[in-house]
A and B are shown apart, each in its own frame.
Chain A
């Protein structure tokens, strides 16, 4: 105790004064002040915009839309088999309806569906040139 008192007396006088001034009692907060602060806080937070809440149905609708778009894109894009369908099947040196006939008459693994044969034939008669996007 004596040692502690001796240490405190070693502190510089301005610091001792500053510590004493900071050690004042906490001012009393009355009920009125408390109400006013509460009211101010309520007003402040009432003007803040509430975060937009998307209803669950809207999420479901958006998810369904995305699924439909993906499905349609999948339908329209040619599959890997269709991409190689336009070919000189009979090795005549050109691609024409005889190639579609040869493909249609092929049996076994090379057998194609009517839709694939139609797509092949329609590509043969198309007036669009390769690379023509119009």
Chain B
């Protein structure tokens, strides 16, 4: 019985490893895009929308940023990302941390992992929906992205 259970565990591990190691063979490539928020005031909540202008992109993962006040994974449509149907995404997060722990200045708030199709250079649209202080006041902040191509 132990042998059977051990074999099943090994089989499952192999399947998971094979799935994780699978790479698309259709010329797709991956890119990571860092999203930065510039704010003169401490930020307690932010929300942005990201999409591709030429539609040759799917978002395949979302990673949290560098601030300890926003330590968890931000909110986004996980179902769409997991299904591989997200050609745009809305990402948001809020923090109830004390004002002195909230980040300000140039903050990396998220990193998006993309799968790009075709050889053309992707063009993105990034829109800051809102950024507010702890008491809910809107901040005059700006948002920008930096991309890194992971694999050709």
Contact = CB atoms under 8 A, between A and B. Distances in A.
B80 A101 contact: no
B81 to A, nearest CB: 9
Interface stretch (B15-23, B24-32, B41-49): B41-49
A126 B47 CA distance: 12
Given A96-B130, A97-B46, A122-B75, A127 B94 contact: no
Interface stretch (B82-90, B111-119, B143-151): B82-90
B136 A101 contact: yes
A96 B80 contact: no
A123 B19 CA distance: 30
Interface of A: 90, 92, 96-98, 100-102, 104-105, 118, 121-122, 124-128
A43 B138 CA distance: 91
Q: A-side binding surface: helix, strand, loop or mixed?
A: helix
A100 B46 CA distance: 11
A51 B88 CA distance: 62
Given A97-B47, A98-B130, A101-B44, A125 B75 contact: yes
A76 to B, nearest CB: 15
B42 to A, nearest CB: 13
Given A104-B96, A124-B47, A127-B80, A98 B136 contact: yes
Interface of B: 44-47, 75-77, 80, 86, 88-94, 96, 129-130, 132, 134, 136, 138
Nearest to B77: A127
A90 B135 CA distance: 10
List the 6 shortest-distance A-B pairs measured between CB atoms, nearest first: A97-B92, A101-B45, A97-B47, A121-B75, A101-B94, A125-B90
A96 B128 CA distance: 11
B96 A97 contact: no
B96 A105 contact: yes
B86 A127 contact: yes
A58 to B, nearest CB: 31
Contacts of A102: 136
Given A97-B132, A98-B136, A122-B75, 16 more contacts: A96-B130, A97-B47, A97-B130, A98-B132, A100-B45, A100-B92, A101-B44, A104-B96, A121-B75, A121-B94, A122-B77, A125-B75, A125-B76, A125-B77, A125-B91, A126-B90
Contacts of B132: 97-98, 101
10 contacts: A97-B46, A97-B92, A98-B138, A104-B96, A124-B75, A124-B90, A125-B47, A125-B92, A127-B80, A127-B90
Nearest to A123: B75
